[in-house]
């Protein structure tokens, strides 16, 4: 039986999210509390270097809101299939690694489960987000190796 009572599962809503959720459920005890989360990085921070002041284009707020709605629906679909209650599905905004660590700390999580594609060079073993979560978290981190379809 797992000693993890509170598990945070961070997904990117890609096709690999189901594999990450499956691994989290495999390490969970029957009475574990599972929280599913997705972190959306604000578009203005993504385009900060392109246009340093003001919105990137007129209507960006509307585009971002439509995207948020679609992503929220994906999160809910994955959560529903995995049996995660709606109250334990979290749609966060900000820098993914920072928000995952913050959520885990503020909610006393015992384990963070997230995927990693692995990178070349400096990030050889883990992806940048997984690496940052691993080295900045107070709780255990399970990085699930996922592979992109070729």
Instruction: Kindly state whether residue 55 falls inside one of the protein's structural domains.
Output: yes
Per-residue pLDDT of the chain (150 residues; tens, 9 = 90+): 467 999 999 999 988 899 999 999 999 999 999 999 999 987 655 554 555 555 555 666 788 788 889 999 999 999 999 999 999 999 999 999 999 999 999 999 999 999 986 554 444 445 788 888 988 899 999 999 886 544
> DSSP label at 28?
S
Instruction: Kindly state whether residue 116 falls inside one of the protein's structural domains.
Output: yes
Q: Domain span at residue 127?
A: 6-145
What is the CATH classification number for the domain harbouring 107?
3.40.50.620
Q: CA geometry: angle at 147 spanning 135 and 89, to 5°?
A: 65
Q: CA geometry: angle at 113 spanning 108 and 116, to 5°?
A: 140
Phi-psi region of 54 (alpha: psi -120 to 50; beta: other; left: phi over 0): left
């Amino acid at each position: 039986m797992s000693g993890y009572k509170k598990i945070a599962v961070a997904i990117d809503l890609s096709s690999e999210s189901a594999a990450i959720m499956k691994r989290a459920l495999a390490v969970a005890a029957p009475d574990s509390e599972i929280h599913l989360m997705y972190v959306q990085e604000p578009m203005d921070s993504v385009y900060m270097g392109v246009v340093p002041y003001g919105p990137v284009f007129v209507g960006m707020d509307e585009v971002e809101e439509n995207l948020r709605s679609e992503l929220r629906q994906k999160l809910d679909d994955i959560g529903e299939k995995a049996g995660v209650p709606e109250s334990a599905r979290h749609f966060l905004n900000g820098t993914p690694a920072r928000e995952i660590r913050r959520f885990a700390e503020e909610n006393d999580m015992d384990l963070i489960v997230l995927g990693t594609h692995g990178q070349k060079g400096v990030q050889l073993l883990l992806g940048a987000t997984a690496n940052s979560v691993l080295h900045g978290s107070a709780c255990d981190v399970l990085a699930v190796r996922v592979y992109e379809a070729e």
